[in-house]
Amino acid sequence: MSHKASLATDRLTLALLNMAAQGLRTHCSDPTSHHLWLSERDAERATAVMLCDHCPVLSACRDTAELRQETWGVWGGKDFSRRPGRKAA
């Protein structure tokens, strides 16, 4: 992992920890819906994208995924999942 990606990961982790300290959580960390972000089903990941709207860590999450070159799942309101024959979003 690059230095920039590592720093972005650390920033995201700190933001999530700060939210948790305030008793808050993101939709992706909710035990009833967290599976949507890494689902094999396109429709479930599309639901996750919608649930990301207005998330307080949206930008940090997307930046982290881009710097880490994520290839699967919903990060910061964007579906990074790639399959053979599927164009990148």
pLDDT digits (tens, 9 = 90+) for 12-66: 999 999 999 999 999 999 999 999 999 999 999 999 999 999 999 999 999 999 9
pTM, to two decimals: 0.87
Written as six digits, the tokens of 78 are 């964007």
- Residue among 17, 12, 27, 13 nearest 74 (CA): 27
Give the chain's end-to-end CA distance (angstroms, integer). 22
Tell whether the model's pLDDT for residue 87 goes beyond 90.
Answer: no
Indicate the length of the chain as a whole number: 89
Domain ranges for the chain, please list them: 3-79
Region of 83 (left: φ > 0; alpha: ψ -120 to 50; beta: rest) is beta
Q: What's the pLDDT band for 1 if we cut at 50, 70, 90?
A: confident
Tell whether the model's pLDDT for residue 86 goes beyond 60.
Answer: no
Q: What number is the average pLDDT over the span 62-87?
A: 90
CB contact set of 36 (below 8 Å; sequence gap of 6+)? 28, 44, 45, 47, 48, 51, 74
Tell whether the model's pLDDT for residue 2 goes beyond 80.
Answer: yes
